[in-house]
């Protein structure tokens, strides 16, 4: 009889140790649907598995079952400078320009989030959380949330291991093989590329240390005068979930707190609306799918580019499905079907889909790899060039940077992808690599979040390098010691040689 209370206590303890019923805060206010999609897919799944979730974001989730605990706190702010809408087709700015824009965006976003009335109410509520999962992207002052709520600090990076996140967990990342996210290099760089990559790495690091971190620290102190310096919170990271995997990324070194869970957002239903199902089924010559993602709008493309694309599409025997944001498209060929919204993953999974013309966003690239579809990438800004050149290097894509677009090149490239079977074969091979994993990426992401909660931050996964200062980490003190010893030895030898020489001179004078 007395065993029942013990058994119940054991079961209760197991539930806690498994992470069930944990309180989790998600912080994803960056106004990009791709960033939100990554974070929301994980937070939704955690809610479905019994955790109590609060989500600070620029978008709202409205399709969850009523029996899950998922609270939305919506944050909105304007990143348009001087009220002017940003057209990324025209305002690409290059890698340095993008860095400067992200400096500005990060300051606006973090300040607006801290000053949002609902966020302030949450901060002053006295609530505690078991984990804070934040979008690691120009928002480093948000690391304060984990401290304030007494929570384990978890980062979600929407790309592979990069110079924004590597220093926070002391991940070794030499610029000789780790390409900068805003450049268009794979890990296999020439001398010139390594030179440019290293120069941009140094620029990025100087920007962070001399401008961005001090700016984030200032925003933190303005909103929370009693907060400690930002550096006290930045490096207290228990887990980094990376949107990466060797099937679509170059393999990179990772410390134990970093986990590749790329593709966790992909959960295709396989169901298409009836009109799209018929369109795809009836396409005996196949379908070309064209979408520039959620942030870029096809209607904003320069007119001459749009007209060139239409002329090329009009010559195809295949049908074309185009994500187009307006009701009509001037000069629309008969083989082109338009829609403001399209279920991308389900379309990519249809057997008649032959080529995906894309902007090269990582989520779109991952979905194409998931289904084994070749890509024609037209990268515009951000990490799109990196994603496109990596896909091209792996043989399942051809990249035409948007600022190098030419009608003839676009036509030749599209026909090459349609008619040369090697791209489809390479895409299918990559798809097999994607699916050949010990567990599904979402299951792995949830496992590690719960693991960190079970083990109180998983301090045992953090490398010793986090305890070292920067000069100790790169062995400047050791190099300095060796140089000092070498200098002392040289000095002693110099004295000895001088005395020997003086003795010889005196001896010669006497003789």
Could you report the per-residue pLDDT of 205-225, keeping only the tens digit for each?
999 999 999 999 999 999 999
- Residue bearing the bigger pLDDT, 270 or 70: 70
Tell me what pLDDT residue 17 has: 42
pLDDT exceeds cutoff 50 at 111:
yes
pTM listed for this prediction: 0.88
Cβ–Cβ under 8 Å, residues 140 and 120? no
Tell me what pLDDT residue 504 has: 73
Per the structure block, which two tokens stand in for 504? 């010889």
Give 28-69 as a 3 state SS string: ECCCCHHHHHHHHHHHHHHHHCCCEEEEEECCCCCCCCCCCE
pLDDT exceeds cutoff 80 at 126:
yes
Cβ–Cβ under 8 Å, residues 286 and 352? yes
pLDDT band at residue 11 under the 50/70/90 scheme = very low
Q: What is the pLDDT of residues 27-65, one digit of tens each?
A: 999 998 889 999 999 999 999 999 999 999 999 988 888
Tell me what pLDDT residue 10 has: 41
pLDDT exceeds cutoff 60 at 3:
no
Q: What is the pLDDT of residues 439-485, one digit of tens each?
A: 999 999 999 999 999 999 999 999 998 888 878 888 899 999 999 99
Per the structure block, which two tokens stand in for 156? 């979600």
Cβ–Cβ under 8 Å, residues 119 and 55? no
DSSP 129-174: -SEEEEE-SS-GGGHHHHHHTT-EEEEEESSSS-TTTGGGGT----
pLDDT exceeds cutoff 80 at 84:
no
Phi (first) and psi of residue 393, to 5 degrees = -65, -30
Q: With H, G, I as helix, E, B as strand and everything else as coil, classify residue 289.
A: strand
Give the integer Cα–Cα distance in Å for 368 and 362: 10
pLDDT band at residue 12 under the 50/70/90 scheme = very low
Cβ–Cβ under 8 Å, residues 380 and 357? no
Tell me what pLDDT residue 89 has: 74
pLDDT band at residue 91 under the 50/70/90 scheme = low
pLDDT exceeds cutoff 50 at 9:
no
Sign of the torsion formed by the C-alpha atoms of 25, 104, 172 and 35:
positive
The residue written with tokens 């074309």 in the block is 320
Q: Which of 45, 387, 57, 32 is nearest to 244 (CA)?
A: 387
Mean pLDDT of the chain: 90
pLDDT band at residue 271 under the 50/70/90 scheme = confident
Which distant-in-sequence residues (6+ apart) come within 8 Å of 312 by Cβ? 407, 410, 411, 414
């Amino acid at each position: 009889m007395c065993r029942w209370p013990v058994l119940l206590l054991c079961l209760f303890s197991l539930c806690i140790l498994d992470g069930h019923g944990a309180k989790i805060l998600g912080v994803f206010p960056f106004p990009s649907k791709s960033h939100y999609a990554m974070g929301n897919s994980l937070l939704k799944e955690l809610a479905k598995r019994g955790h109590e979730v609060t989500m600070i974001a620029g978008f709202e989730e409205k399709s969850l079952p009523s029996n899950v605990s998922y609270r939305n706190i919506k944050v909105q702010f304007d990143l348009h400078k001087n009220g002017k809408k940003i057209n990324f087709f025209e305002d690409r700015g290059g890698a340095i320009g993008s860095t400067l824009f992200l400096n500005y965006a990060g300051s606006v976003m973090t300040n607006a989030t801290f000053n949002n009335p609902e966020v302030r109410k949450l901060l002053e509520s006295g609530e505690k959380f078991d984990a804070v999962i934040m979008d690691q992207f120009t928002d480093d002052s948000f690391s304060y949330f984990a401290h304030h709520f007494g929570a384990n600090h978890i980062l979600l990076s929407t790309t592979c291991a990069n110079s924004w996140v590597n220093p926070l967990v002391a991940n070794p990342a030499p610029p000789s093989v780790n390409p900068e996210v805003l450049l268009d290099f794979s890990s296999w760089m020439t001398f010139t590329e390594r030179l440019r990559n290293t120069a941009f790495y140094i620029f990025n690091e100087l920007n962070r240390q001399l401008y961005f971190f001090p700016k984030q620290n200032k925003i933190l102190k303005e909103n929370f005068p009693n907060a400690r310096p930002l550096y006290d919170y930045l490096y207290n990271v228990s887990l980094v979930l990376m949107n990466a995997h060797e099937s679509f990324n170059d393999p990179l070194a990772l410390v134990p707190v970093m986990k590749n869970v790329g593709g966790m957002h992909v959960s295709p239903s396989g169901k298409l609306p009836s009109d799209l199902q018929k369109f795809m089924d009836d396409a005996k010559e196949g379908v070309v799918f064209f979408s520039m993602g959620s942030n870029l709008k096809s209607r904003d493309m320069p007119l001459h580019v749009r007209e060139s694309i239409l002329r090329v599409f009009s010559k195809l025997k295949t049908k074309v499905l185009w994500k187009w944001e307006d009701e009509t498209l001037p000069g629309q060929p008969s083989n082109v079907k338009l829609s403001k919204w399209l279920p991308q993953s389900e379309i990519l999974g249809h057997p008649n889909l032959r080529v995906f013309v894309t902007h090269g966003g990582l989520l779109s690239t991952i979905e194409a790899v998931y289904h084994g579809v070749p890509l024609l990438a037209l990268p515009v800004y951000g990490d799109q060039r990196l994603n496109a050149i990596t896909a091209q290097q792996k043989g399942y894509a051809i990249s035409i940077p948007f600022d190098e677009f030419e009608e003839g090149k676009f036509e030749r490239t599209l026909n090459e992808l349609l008619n040369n079977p090697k791209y489809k074969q390479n895409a299918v091979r990559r798809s097999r690599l994607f699916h050949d994993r010990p567990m599904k990426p979402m299951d792995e992401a949830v496992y590690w979040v719960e693991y960190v909660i079970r083990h109180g931050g998983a301090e045992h996964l953090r490398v010793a390098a986090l305890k070292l200062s920067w000069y100790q980490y790169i062995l400047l003190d050791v190099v300095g010691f060796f140089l000092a010893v070498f200098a002392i030895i040289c000095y002693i030898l110099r004295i000895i040689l001088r005395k020997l020489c003086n003795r010889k001179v005196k001896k010669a004078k006497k003789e």
